[in-house]
């Protein structure tokens, strides 16, 4: 048994024989041509032929991966037709009297090099696209027909790298997973794998593997295991069965309302960490977004994200959710989420320290920028905003004052904005005890059970010596949730749960009985929880 | 010559696909259309060159249009940029 760790392009489990795909890279010899005009014509014919092939590929990809992702093959057509690229090739043929194959290979390498040296991961990955189109033209020039993937047994495909066009040409039914030794998670191949729902690993340092060797792809942990021992194999067969079960569940529960047997509607939302997660939200049929962690905008940047950057991310999510409720949590930086440019001091007790709203109320310019972006985005959908780490009523009062100031600022500049529903996260025992007072200030509560449990049980979750004392179902926490829900209903507002406990299927029934109005869970947990709701009274 | 500035909104910047649609759009006009980022300027119909500029979200580009249909081309392109990138 051997095990290799790769980067995850798409999750999921696969077990099956390996099929290796050799590089389509062709050795090209430099030869001298006498008839330059003829050679130029050979190139232009091959280019036209390549464009025709790409048109056909686009048509093939369209029903499989959708317009947005199939578009790469349109872009490939345009790249082939690019004036700089073609002129470079033609110039080389004419001035050096070389064969078209050599001119295309050299020019392709030069352009690929140019993209490979860019400082942006996404653009760097484009060098694979340039190589892909160049290989296509060379293959046509060499008179080799495109290899098609005929009747093959389902297998795990192992290759150095797969060009997008190779990925799409593989017959979906014969592919259990992709593993590539090179490649990046930003490559179009990785994106296509995600759209085709095929487990995929890239940058996996696997050596030579004989075709037919039994292997496992664990897309959750990024592992590629060859020749698994009996125990490992058994473990993964169970996981695979569970995954298939989940898929079946998905099919039957999609499109259904989350209603209890007695007819009470529970809002079942999903948690996301960025714009790209929205696809999973829609895929799993969540009814809204219950927690959009806005930290990602700060974590992925080297400086404070601008109002414009934030606005465009929020707007995009609102537009994609098309009128469904989207709850964005204002930035929760600090504690375990440290960012260099915030210049935060080292702390003895970061979990009890300078974080979230405490930073926002101190460094108001950061908070105001975020609020402006949120207000401006609010006209594109149904936006709710919630404030993390609230412990006192005055904090909420101050937040509301700042929000009012931001609104007058926008009014003065005649910038339109819409209604924002305001809520607070209940994650400190203090907030639980004064929930009745907080309920006077806001329109909803969302209980963050991870922090609430940590603060209530006085257990640092990072310390694994404390595991035996950490009880996620501790009665103290469950009583607190009940108190919060009661206080909310007393004041006529709603209360939900967005922490990990919300996704605990053992507790769904309990939460429904407590009167919880909303549950927000990881996209993959939406349907299992819906099942629990449908079965509850 | 007509020009306008545009701040790129697309999360990934002017990546492969938007560069493709910009190049396609620019070919619809008689005027010569160029796009400038910093001190680098490229012909907008040249897809690879546009991609190689590596324009990211939040960055400003200046688009210049010069030719017989520059008025209408500039207006149409401005709208196109606002909607697409």
Q: Give the per-residue pLDDT at A343.
A: 86
Tell me, letter by letter, the H, E, C secondary structure of B58-79. Answer: CCEEEEEEECCCHHHHHHHHHH
How far is it, in rounded angstroms, from Cα A373 to Cα A370? Answer: 5
Alpha-carbon radius of gyration of chain A: 28
Q: Give the per-residue pLDDT at B34.
A: 93
- Asked if residue A269 and residue A132 are part of one domain, the reply reads no
A199 domain residue, yes or no: no
- Provide CB contacts within 8 A for A464, sequence distance 6+: none
- What's the average model confidence in pLDDT over A83-109? 92
- What's the average model confidence in pLDDT over A383-388? 98
* Greater model confidence, B11 or A100: A100
Q: What is the C-alpha end-to-end distance of chain A, expressed in Å?
A: 49
How many angstroms separate the CA of residue A78 from the nearest CA in chain B? 7
HSE (side-chain half, CA atoms, 13 Å) at A91:
8
Q: Which residues in chain B come in under a pLDDT of 70?
A: none
Q: Give the per-residue pLDDT at A145.
A: 64
CB-based contact (8 Å) between B76 and chain A? no
How many angstroms separate the CA of residue A229 from the nearest CA in chain B? 43
Q: Which of B5, B10, B20 to mutate to test the interface with A (most CBs of A within 10 A)?
A: B20
How far is it, in rounded angstroms, from Cα B26 to Cα B73? Answer: 9
Categorize the per-residue pLDDT at A191 as very low, low, confident or very high, splitting at 50, 70 and 90: confident
CB-based contact (8 Å) between A280 and chain B? no
How far is it, in rounded angstroms, from Cα A387 to Cα A331? Answer: 8
Residue among A317, A225, A240 at smallest CA distance from A280? A317
How far is it, in rounded angstroms, from Cα A359 to Cα A134? Answer: 52
- Asked if residue A135 and residue A259 are part of one domain, the reply reads no
Beta pairing class for A13-21 and A155-159: parallel
pTM score: 0.57
A180 domain residue, yes or no: no
Q: Give the per-residue pLDDT at A25.
A: 60
Q: Give the dihedral sign, CA A486/A489/A491/A495.
A: positive
CB contacts < 8 Å between A and B, how many? Answer: 64
From A94, A109, A141, give the residue that closes a domain: A141
Q: Are A532 and A511 in contact (CB under 8 A)?
A: no
Judged against a pLDDT cut of 90, whether residue A67 lies above it is answered with: no
Q: Give the per-residue pLDDT at A378.
A: 96
A411 domain residue, yes or no: yes
Domain count, chain A: 2
Q: Give the per-residue pLDDT at A406.
A: 97
A224 domain residue, yes or no: no
**What percent of chain A has a predicted confidence (pLDDT) above 90?**
57
Residues from chain A contacting residue B13 (CB–CB below 8 Å): 120, 122-123
A178 domain residue, yes or no: no
For A423-453, the pLDDT digits (tens) are: 999 999 999 999 999 999 999 999 999 899 9
Q: Give the per-residue pLDDT at A24.
A: 55
In order of their start, the domains of chain B are 2-84 (3.30.1340.10)
* Greater model confidence, A314 or A249: A314
Q: Give the per-residue pLDDT at A26.
A: 65
Alpha-carbon radius of gyration of chain B: 11
Q: Give the per-residue pLDDT at A23.
A: 60
For A348-379, the pLDDT digits (tens) are: 888 888 999 999 999 999 999 999 999 999 99
Judged against a pLDDT cut of 90, whether residue A192 lies above it is answered with: no
Q: Which residue range(s) make up the domain with A325?
A: 254-535
- CATH number of the domain where residue A67 is located: 1.10.274.10
Cβ neighbours of A423 (radius 10 Å) = 26
Listing from the earlier edge strand, what are the strands of the sheet with A200-202? A2-5, A223-226, A214-218, A13-21, A155-159, A175-180, A200-202, A7-10
- CATH number of the domain where residue A487 is located: 3.20.20.60
For A122-162, the pLDDT digits (tens) are: 778 788 889 889 989 998 888 776 655 455 688 999 988 88
Which ipTM value was assigned to this complex?
A: 0.86
A394 domain residue, yes or no: yes
Q: Give the per-residue pLDDT at A328.
A: 98
- Phi first, then psi, for residue A173 (nearest 5°) are -70, -20
CA distances from A404 to A372, A390, A398, A409 (A): 11, 19, 10, 9
Q: Are A236 and A15 in contact (CB under 8 A)?
A: yes
How far is it, in rounded angstroms, from Cα A524 to Cα A77? Answer: 37
Average pLDDT, chain A: 89
A240 domain residue, yes or no: no
Q: Do A308 and B54 touch (CB under 8 A)?
A: no
CB-based contact (8 Å) between B47 and chain A? yes
How many angstroms separate the CA of residue A309 from the nearest CA in chain B? 6
Listing from the earlier edge strand, what are the strands of the sheet with B2-7? B2-7, B60-66, B32-37, B40-43
A19 domain residue, yes or no: no
From A115, A141, A167, give the residue that closes a domain: A141
How far is it, in rounded angstroms, from Cα A90 to Cα A42? Answer: 11
- Asked if residue A263 and residue A137 are part of one domain, the reply reads no
Categorize the per-residue pLDDT at A243 as very low, low, confident or very high, splitting at 50, 70 and 90: confident
Q: For the purposes of burial, counting CB atoms within 10 Å of the CB of A419, is it exposed (0-12), middle (13-18) or buried (19 or more)? A: exposed
For A195-238, the pLDDT digits (tens) are: 677 899 999 998 888 888 899 999 888 999 999 999 999 999 99
Q: Give the per-residue pLDDT at A356.
A: 93
Q: Which of A75, A275, A309 sits opposite B20 (nearest CB)?
A: A75
Q: Are B67 and B28 in contact (CB under 8 A)?
A: no
How far is it, in rounded angstroms, from Cα A485 to Cα A496? Answer: 8
From A92, A124, A141, give the residue that closes a domain: A141
């Amino acid at each position: 048994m051997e095990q290799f760790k790769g980067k995850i392009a798409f999750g999921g489990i696969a077990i099956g024989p390996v099929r290796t795909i050799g590089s389509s890279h062709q050795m090209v010899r430099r030869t001298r041509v006498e008839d330059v005009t003829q050679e130029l014509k050979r190139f232009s014919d091959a280019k036209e032929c390549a464009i025709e092939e790409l048109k056909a590929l686009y048509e093939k990809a369209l029903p499989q991966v959708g317009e947005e992702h199939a578009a790469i093959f349109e872009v490939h057509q345009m790249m082939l037709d690019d004036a700089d690229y073609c002129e470079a090739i033609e110039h080389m043929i004419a001035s050096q009297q070389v064969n078209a194959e050599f001119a295309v290979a050299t020019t392709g390498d030069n352009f690929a090099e140019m993209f490979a040296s860019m400082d942006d991961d996404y653009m760097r990955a484009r060098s694979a696209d340039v190589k892909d189109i160049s290989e296509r033209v060379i293959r046509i020039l060499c008179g080799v027909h495109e290899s098609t993937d005929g009747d093959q047994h389902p297998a795990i495909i192992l290759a150095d790298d797969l060009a997008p066009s190779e990925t799409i040409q593989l017959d979906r039914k014969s592919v259990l997973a992709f593993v590539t030794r090179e490649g990046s998670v930003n490559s179009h191949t990785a994106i296509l794998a995600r759209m085709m729902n095929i487990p995929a690993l890239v940058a996996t340092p696997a050596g030579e593997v004989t075709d037919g060797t039994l292997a496992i792809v664990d897309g959750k942990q990024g592992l590629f295991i060859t020749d698994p021992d009996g125990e490992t194999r058994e473990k993964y067969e169970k996981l695979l069965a569970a995954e298939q079960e989940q898929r079946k569940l998905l099919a039957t529960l999609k499109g259904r309302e989350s209603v209890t047997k007695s007819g009470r509607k529970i809002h079942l939302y999903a948690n996301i960490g960025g714009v790209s997660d929205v696809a999973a939200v829609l895929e799993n049929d969540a009814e809204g977004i219950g927690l959009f962690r806005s930290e990602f905008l700060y974590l992925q940047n080297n400086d404070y994200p601008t109002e414009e950057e934030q606005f465009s991310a929020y707007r995009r999510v609102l537009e994609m959710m098309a009128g469904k409720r989207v709850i964005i949590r204002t930035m929760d930086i600090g504690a375990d989420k440290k960012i260099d440019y915030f210049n935060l001091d080292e702390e003895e007790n970061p979990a009890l320290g300078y974080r979230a709203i405490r930073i926002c109320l101190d460094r108001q310019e950061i908070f105001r920028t975020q609020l402006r972006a949120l207000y401006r985005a609010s006209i594109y959908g149904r936006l709710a905003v919630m404030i993390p780490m609230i412990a006192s009523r005055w904090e909420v009062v101050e937040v509301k004052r700042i929000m009012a100031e931001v609104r007058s600022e926008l009014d003065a500049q005649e910038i339109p904005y819409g209604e924002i529903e305001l809520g607070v996260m209940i994650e400190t025992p203090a907030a639980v005890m004064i929930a009745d007072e907080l309920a006077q200030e806001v329109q909803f509560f969302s209980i963050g059970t991870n922090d609430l449990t940590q603060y209530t049980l006085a257990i640092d979750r990072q310390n694994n010596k404390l595991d035996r004392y950490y009880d996620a179902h501790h009665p103290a926490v469950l009583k607190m949730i009940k108190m919060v829900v009661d206080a909310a209903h007393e004041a006529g507002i709603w209360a939900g749960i967005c922490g990990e406990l919300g996704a605990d299927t053992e507790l769904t029934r309990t939460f429904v009985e407590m009167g919880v109005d909303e549950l927000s869970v990881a996209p993959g947990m939406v349907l299992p929880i819906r099942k629990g709701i449908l079965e509850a009274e | 010559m007509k020009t306008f500035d545009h701040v790129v909104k697309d999360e990934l910047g002017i990546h492969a696909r938007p560069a493709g649609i910009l190049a396609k759009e620019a070919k619809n006009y008689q005027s010569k259309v160029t796009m400038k980022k910093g001190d680098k300027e490229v012909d907008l119909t040249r897809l690879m060159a546009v991609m190689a500029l590596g324009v990211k979200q939040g960055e400003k580009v200046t688009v210049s249009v010069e030719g017989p249909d520059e008025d209408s081309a500039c207006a149409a392109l401005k709208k196109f940029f606002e909607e697409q990138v």
